[in-house]
């Protein structure tokens, strides 16, 4: 990062030219020039950088090879300063909504339209909670039905079994700077973020444990394609830019079907795209060891999500991410009915009837409208008595969910700081091609400064393999970790784990469109069906993120306000 001098174009961003080889510099220039006059947002994650236009995303989105240091530096763009100030204060959009903690007080002020209309919200994940919270703010009479005994769904923090106040995230962990919706609600509910520490990452690939070689030294891996071995990171631009460039305008209402190049992406997987660009199997394994096993993810969904969800800042909520859903649920009070499993949805011209079961037996609720914020995996078990459109029904029945698992270990100390390879650190301690996937370090999130907290974060085939070990899965993981981090022997003092594909209320980590499916499923999943509106990460561009769940919550509230003849309020809600 020695020479951050080259100014861009008045967008307020500068390129640190010293660390950018020629080809990538040209890529960087083309981004800056094509979006000149618009504020750009440039994000770096690990060794790669994503850039996109910060307003409307009409510029070309490009990933640029980097070194292990971010080489984009944020300049003094006034739009950006405004955004950051707004975020710190709880965001301009929240201000427009008039959101505060006192959900009841605001509901009263929003009334005045006669009897409040009733909305029944299905699911108390972030999507359902966000929809309910905003609807109450707009004067609606809201009831939330949640099958489990807790709010949060795929945001689940575990504290039991850990020493000295330790906690671990079984579900969502990272919040990026670009997660505007998540950050807004975090601020709104007075929560703080804790950043992750940074540090060296080890690799365990092809049976060997090693640190990234010094510049100029080859990577100790066999099977690279010509040109990959000296510096695999140098291929990021070649292999990924073509994908980002094909995305088109992801915010266009017709995306992806309206963009032929996006349809090309939809027809393949992330791995398929990388292969088509010449990436070797070794390069792909090296990539997954850092970014997660996303090879079988639909390429259009994967590139869209990656283009929107990166950021230079990375953290999670101090004390546990579940503090956000618990705070939102507390604001809703007894409007949230726990252990209430939705069994049936029926509708007619005047309203929606939802059948559910709780400890007291079977019940029915009649409402003017319904927000369905259930993942489609459990929705498949619900009786849709008044069938939705054929595409929606097909999506509900066919949408798959990606397997994911976490296996956490609390340790007596942070032994990796004395690793024989040298002191390791950062979130991603070891990137592997084993069942463990990535070994992550969340110790900086803990209150105790000495105990350690690490876990294996497994996606897709890794998570399936972990689960196949059945009752022996933790033993199997402990044995594997002894190879990946030899110092772990005798260290473990607490354990927590979960395989999400086994959770009947989720079905997996995220909606998983297969090649060729996103073109029809994405619009179908979001489409309003009479008086039933659909929220949830699967209905958002930010699939697989809390940000997507919360974005979808605001979208459905906008839909309802609009349908109820409140276009002005709806517009205010949807303004970002």
Ligand X SMILES: Cc1cc2nc3c(=O)[nH]c(=O)nc-3n(C[C@H](O)[C@H](O)[C@H](O)COP(=O)(O)OP(=O)(O)OC[C@H]3O[C@@H](n4cnc5c(N)ncnc54)[C@H](O)[C@@H]3O)c2cc1C
Q: Give the interface with ligand X as residue ranges (CB under 6 A).
A: 122-128, 145-148, 153-155, 171-174, 341-342, 373-375, 378, 382, 404, 406, 500, 505-506, 509, 536-537, 544-549
Task: Count other Cβ atoms within 10 Å, centred on residue 62.
Answer: 25
CA 405 to centroid of chain Cα atoms: 15
Please give the residue whose beta carbon sits closest to ligand X in the complex: 125
Q: What are the structure tokens assigned to 353, written together?
A: 């009837």
457 annotated as ligand-binding: yes
Between residues 219 and 534, which has the closer beta carbon with respect to ligand X? 534
Between residues 66 and 548, which has the closer beta carbon with respect to ligand X? 548
Between residues 279 and 511, which has the closer beta carbon with respect to ligand X? 511
- Of 430, 411, 413, the C-alpha closest to 422 is 430
171 annotated as ligand-binding: yes
172 annotated as ligand-binding: yes
Between residues 341 and 433, which has the closer beta carbon with respect to ligand X? 341
CA distances from 278 to 116, 238, 464 (A): 59, 9, 28
147 annotated as ligand-binding: yes
Bridge partners of residue 169, in order along the sequence:
157
Between residues 549 and 570, which has the closer beta carbon with respect to ligand X? 549
Between residues 242 and 316, which has the closer beta carbon with respect to ligand X? 316
**What is the closest distance, in whole angstroms, from the C-beta atom of residue 253 to ligand X in the complex?**
21
Instruction: Report angle CA 100, 103, 108 to the nearest 5 degrees.
Output: 110
**What is the closest distance, in whole angstroms, from the C-beta atom of residue 133 to ligand X in the complex?**
12
- CB within 8 A of 297, min separation 6: which ones? 269, 270, 402, 512
Say if residues 368 and 119 touch (Cβ distance below 8 Å): yes
Question: Which residue bears the tokens 């073109």?
Answer: 519
Between residues 19 and 316, which has the closer beta carbon with respect to ligand X? 316
**What is the closest distance, in whole angstroms, from the C-beta atom of residue 439 to ligand X in the complex?**
15
**What is the closest distance, in whole angstroms, from the C-beta atom of residue 80 to ligand X in the complex?**
22
490 annotated as ligand-binding: no
**What is the closest distance, in whole angstroms, from the C-beta atom of residue 179 to ligand X in the complex?**
6
Cα(507)–Cα(201) distance, integer angstroms: 31
Q: What are the structure tokens assigned to 509, written together?
A: 């980590």
Between residues 173 and 233, which has the closer beta carbon with respect to ligand X? 173
Cis peptide before 256 (omega within 30 of 0): yes
Crossing angle for the helix pair 299-308 and 518-526, to the nearest 10 degrees: 60
**What is the closest distance, in whole angstroms, from the C-beta atom of residue 265 to ligand X in the complex?**
21
Torsion of CA 519, 525, 527, 531, to 10 degrees: 170
DSSP state of 513: P
Between residues 204 and 438, which has the closer beta carbon with respect to ligand X? 438
Q: How many residues are given for the chain?
A: 576
Say if residues 318 and 560 touch (Cβ distance below 8 Å): no
What does 309-366 look like in DSSP terms, one character per residue? S--S-EEEETT-TTHHHHHHHHHHGGGEESS-EEEEEEE-SS-EEEEEEETTEEEEEE
Between residues 71 and 189, which has the closer beta carbon with respect to ligand X? 189
365 annotated as ligand-binding: no
- Of 374, 375, 327, the C-alpha closest to 182 is 327
560 annotated as ligand-binding: no
Question: Which residue bears the tokens 């499993």?
Answer: 341
Q: What are the structure tokens assigned to 571, written together?
A: 């517009």
**What is the closest distance, in whole angstroms, from the C-beta atom of residue 526 to ligand X in the complex?**
12
**What is the closest distance, in whole angstroms, from the C-beta atom of residue 154 to ligand X in the complex?**
3
Cα(114)–Cα(88) distance, integer angstroms: 36
Question: Which residue bears the tokens 């510029």?
Answer: 59
**What is the closest distance, in whole angstroms, from the C-beta atom of residue 414 to ligand X in the complex?**
22
**What is the closest distance, in whole angstroms, from the C-beta atom of residue 79 to ligand X in the complex?**
24
- What is the enclosing helix (H) or strand (E) of 243? helix 236-246
* Pairing of β 438-441 and β 428-432: antiparallel
Between residues 11 and 499, which has the closer beta carbon with respect to ligand X? 499
Q: What are the structure tokens assigned to 519, written together?
A: 């073109």
**What is the closest distance, in whole angstroms, from the C-beta atom of residue 545 to ligand X in the complex?**
4
From the annotation, which residues make up the binding site? 146-147, 171-174, 342, 457, 537
From the annotation, which residues make up the binding site for FAD? 146-147, 171-174, 342, 537
From the annotation, which residues make up the binding site for substrate? 174, 457
């Amino acid at each position: 990062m020695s020479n951050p001098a080259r100014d861009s174009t008045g967008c307020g961003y500068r390129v640190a030219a010293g660390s950018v080889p020629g080809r990538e510099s040209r890529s960087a220039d083309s981004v800056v020039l094509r979006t000149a006059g618009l504020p750009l947002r440039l994000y770096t994650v690990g060794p790669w950088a994503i850039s996109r236009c910060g307003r409307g995303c009409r510029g070309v989105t490009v990933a640029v090879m980097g070194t292990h240091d971010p080489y984009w530096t944020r300049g003094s763009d006034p739009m950006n300063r405004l955004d950051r100030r707004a975020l710190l204060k709880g965001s301009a959009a929240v201000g427009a909504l008039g959101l505060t903690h006192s959900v009841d007080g605001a509901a009263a002020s929003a009334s005045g339209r006669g009897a409040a209309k009733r909305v029944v919200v299905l699911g108390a994940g972030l999507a359902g909670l966000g929809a309910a919270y905003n609807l109450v703010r707009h004067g609606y009479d809201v009831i939330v039905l949640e099958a489990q005994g807790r709010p949060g769904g795929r945001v689940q923090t575990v504290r039991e079994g850990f020493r000295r106040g330790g906690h671990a995230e079984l579900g969502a962990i990272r919040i990026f700077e670009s997660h505007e919706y998540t950050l807004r609600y975090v601020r709104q509910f007075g929560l703080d973020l804790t950043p992750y520490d940074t540090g060296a990452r080890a690799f365990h690939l092809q049976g060997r444990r090693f640190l990234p070689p010094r510049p100029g030294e080859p990577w100790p891996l066999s099977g690279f394609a010509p040109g990959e071995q000296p510096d695999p990171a140098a291929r990021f631009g070649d292999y990924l830019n073509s994908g980002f460039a094909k995305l088109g305008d992801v915010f266009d209402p017709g995306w992806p079907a309206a963009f032929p190049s996006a349809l090309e992406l939809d027809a393949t997987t992330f791995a398929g795209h990388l292969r088509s660009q010449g990436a070797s199997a070794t390069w792909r394994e090296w990539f997954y060891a850092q970014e997660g096993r996303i090879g079988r993810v639909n390429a259009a969904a994967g590139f869209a999500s990656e283009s929107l969800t990166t950021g230079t800042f990375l953290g999670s909520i101090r004390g546990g991410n579940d503090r956000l859903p618990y705070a939102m649920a507390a604001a809703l009070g007894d409007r949230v009915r726990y252990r209430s499993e939705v069994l049936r949805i029926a509708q007619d011209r005047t309203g929606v009837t939802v059948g559910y079961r709780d400890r007291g037996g079977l019940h029915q609720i009649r409402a003017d409208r319904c927000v369905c914020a259930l993942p489609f995996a459990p929705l498949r078990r619900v009786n849709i008595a008044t069938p939705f459109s054929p595409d929606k029904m097909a999506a509900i029945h066919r949408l798959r969910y990606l397997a994911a698992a976490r296996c956490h270990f609390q340790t007596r100390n942070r032994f990796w700081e004395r690793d024989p390879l040298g002191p390791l650190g950062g979130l991603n301690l070891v990137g592997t091609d084993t069942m463990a996937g990535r070994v992550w370090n969340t110790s900086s999130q803990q209150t105790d400064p000495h105990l350690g907290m690490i876990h294996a974060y497994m996606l897709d085939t890794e998570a399936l393999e972990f689960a196949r070990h059945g009752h022996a899965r933790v033993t199997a993981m402990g044995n594997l970790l002894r190879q990946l981090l030899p110092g772990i022997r005798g260290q473990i003092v607490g354990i927590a784990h979960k395989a999400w594909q086994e959770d009947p209320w989720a079905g997996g980590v995220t909606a998983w469109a297969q090649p060729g499916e996103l073109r029809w499923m994405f619009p179908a999943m979001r489409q309003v069906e009479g008086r039933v509106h659909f929220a949830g990460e699967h209905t958002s561009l930010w699939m697989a993120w809390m940000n997507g769940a919360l974005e979808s919550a605001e979208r459905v509230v906008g839909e309802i306000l609009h349908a109820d003849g409140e276009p002005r309020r709806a517009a205010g809600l949807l303004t970002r």
